[in-house]
């Protein structure tokens, strides 16, 4: 058992993620104040994950602890520095395949042990509407279907990049990033932990008052380490809500096209489609959705989203982290409610192929979380995937806590 390198810092009660952002230090000579007058944060997330998967003789039991410690300076002439450490430790016996521990007789739980610098970057705002960031940083764009931080896994996904955000009005924002490397959830000890690239990400959003947000994007991914992931994706989405007398209408639509680029040996020419419709009735929310990731059946010719927060899409059992060559059609219904300190979610998915007759399977997902205080939340999540023509029957259960003093 590897003890956490940072868990002892839980005693440092003065480190609070709830403190207000530091005040700007703008006068000459206030560099010392900027360095010492910033904000600290500490986050702890213990979790037990259980996996029962057909094809394995043993069930997986993964007990892990994520510890995050960070500091951001106050601003000095528009500039600030952020440094954040992250540690993932196994608590007890490692009865799971973390992807790096060699326990391949168990199902995979992609939470390998390791300590690393999660974020380190310089931010500079020469004007109120413009911010540059240089270094390792978190990026989450739109609903994270294409660009996300994979926040569910214990090791967060971050990007080594130069980025800018320009928001000339309250409604309009323009984001650009040049990405040199992606620090993936598998950690530094895994060959799949880093994806080197020279990629450009562009996202332009506009808030339509009273209706929602429109966005157009271009994600130009040119990989050095995984040539088959080199693609250009162009798309647009609109999502939002509109209130009526007795309920709130929810809706979303998105279209995108993807093609191979760079040294990709595969011919990729596929489309993405999303349509969602739902409503909010008091504390209850319900939604119907239909998502299509195109695939022709030819090797490598399927719509992929390798930088997404994939766990949030196509079922929590994570059976479709890579789109099959025949593509993926996910028709789903979800419902949720927030009552006092409790939050409930329930979803049902039917999965099938985009090309060909295959019925992949179905999945039921459920969760309940309990917010005890501003600092502490407890949760129980479960996923049950019933396979037809794809993968194997899989049941997963998570018991977790999130603590940020």
Domain annotation covers residue 249: yes
Flag whether pLDDT at 212 surpasses 90.
yes
User: Measured between alpha carbons, how far is 265 from 222 in angstroms, rounded to an integer?
Assistant: 13
Question: What's the whole-number mean pLDDT along residues 319-326?
Answer: 98
pLDDT confidence bin for 16, thresholds 50/70/90: very low
Question: Residue 218 is part of which domain span?
Answer: 128-313
User: Measured between alpha carbons, how far is 86 from 65 in angstroms, rounded to an integer?
Assistant: 10
Flag whether pLDDT at 403 surpasses 80.
yes
State residue 24's pLDDT score: 56
**Weakest mean pLDDT among 28-42, 336-350, 353-367, 368-382:** 28-42
pLDDT, tens digit, for every residue of 70-91? 999 999 999 999 999 999 999 9
Domain annotation covers residue 288: yes
Domain annotation covers residue 114: no
State residue 11's pLDDT score: 33
Domain annotation covers residue 3: no
| Run of H or E including 33 | helix 31-36
End-to-end CA distance of the chain: 26
112 near 97, Cβ under 8 Å?
no
343 near 357, Cβ under 8 Å?
no
Q: What is the pTM of this model?
A: 0.91
Domain annotation covers residue 27: no
Domain annotation covers residue 247: yes
Q: Which residues contact 340 (CB under 8 A, 6 or more apart)?
A: none
Q: What is the CATH number of the domain that holds 192?
A: 2.40.160.10
Domains of the chain: total: 1
Query: Which of helix, strand or coil describes residue 152?
Result: coil
Domain annotation covers residue 339: no
**What is the total residue count of the chain?**
405
**Weakest mean pLDDT among 27-31, 121-125, 146-150, 259-263:** 27-31
pLDDT confidence bin for 203, thresholds 50/70/90: very high
Flag whether pLDDT at 111 surpasses 50.
yes
Domain annotation covers residue 8: no
For 306-344, letters b (16+ CB in 10 Å) and e give bbbbbbebbbbbbbbeebbbbbbbbebebebbeeeeebe
Question: What's the whole-number mean pLDDT along residues 262-275?
Answer: 97
Question: What's the whole-number mean pLDDT along residues 252-275?
Answer: 98
- Give the whole-number percent of the chain exceeding pLDDT 70: 93
């Amino acid at each position: 058992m590897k003890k956490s390198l940072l868990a002892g810092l839980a005693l440092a009660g003065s480190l609070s993620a709830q403190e207000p952002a530091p005040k700007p230090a703008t006068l000459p000579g206030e560099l010392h104040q900027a360095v010492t007058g910033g904000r600290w944060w500490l986050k702890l997330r213990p979790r037990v994950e259980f996996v029962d998967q057909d094809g394995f003789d043993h069930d997986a039991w993964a007990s892990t602890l994520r510890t995050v410690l960070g500091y951001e300076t106050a601003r000095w002439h528009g500039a600030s520095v952020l440094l954040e450490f992250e540690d993932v430790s196994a608590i007890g016996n490692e009865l799971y395949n973390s992807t790096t521990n060699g326990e391949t007789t168990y199902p995979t739980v992609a939470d390998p042990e390791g300590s690393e610098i999660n974020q380190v970057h310089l931010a500079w705002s020469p004007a109120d509407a413009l911010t540059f960031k240089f270094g390792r940083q978190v990026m989450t764009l739109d609903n994270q279907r294409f660009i996300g931080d994979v926040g569910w896994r214990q090791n967060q996904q971050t990007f080594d990049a130069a980025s800018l955000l320009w928001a000339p009005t309250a409604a309009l924002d323009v984001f650009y990033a040049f990405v040199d490397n992606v620090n993936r959830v598998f950690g530094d000890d895994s060959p799949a932990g880093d994806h080197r690239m020279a990629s450009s990400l562009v996202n332009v959003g506009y808030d339509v008052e009273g209706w929602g947000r429109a966005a157009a994007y271009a994600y130009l991914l040119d990989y050095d380490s995984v040539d088959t992931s080199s693609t250009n994706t162009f798309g647009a989405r609109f999502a939002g809500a509109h209130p009526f007398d007795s309920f709130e209408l929810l809706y979303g639509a998105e279209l995108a096209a993807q093609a191979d680029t760079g040294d990709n040996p595969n011919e990729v020419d596929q489309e993405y489609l999303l349509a969602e419709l739902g409503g909010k009735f008091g504390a209850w929310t319900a939604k119907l959705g239909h998502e299509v990731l195109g695939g022709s059946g030819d090797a490598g010719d399927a719509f992929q989203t390798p930088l997404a927060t994939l766990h949030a899409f196509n079922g929590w059992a994570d059976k479709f982290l890579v789109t099959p060559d025949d593509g993926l059609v996910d028709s789903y219904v979800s419902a949720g409610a927030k009552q006092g300190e409790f939050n409930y979610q329930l979803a049902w998915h039917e999965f099938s192929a985009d090309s060909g007759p295959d019925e992949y399977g179905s999945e039921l997902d459920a969760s309940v979380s309990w917010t005890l205080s501003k600092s502490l939340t407890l949760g129980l999540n479960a996923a049950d995937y019933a396979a037809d023509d794809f993968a194997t029957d899989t049941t997963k259960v998570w018991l977790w806590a999130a603590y940020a003093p």
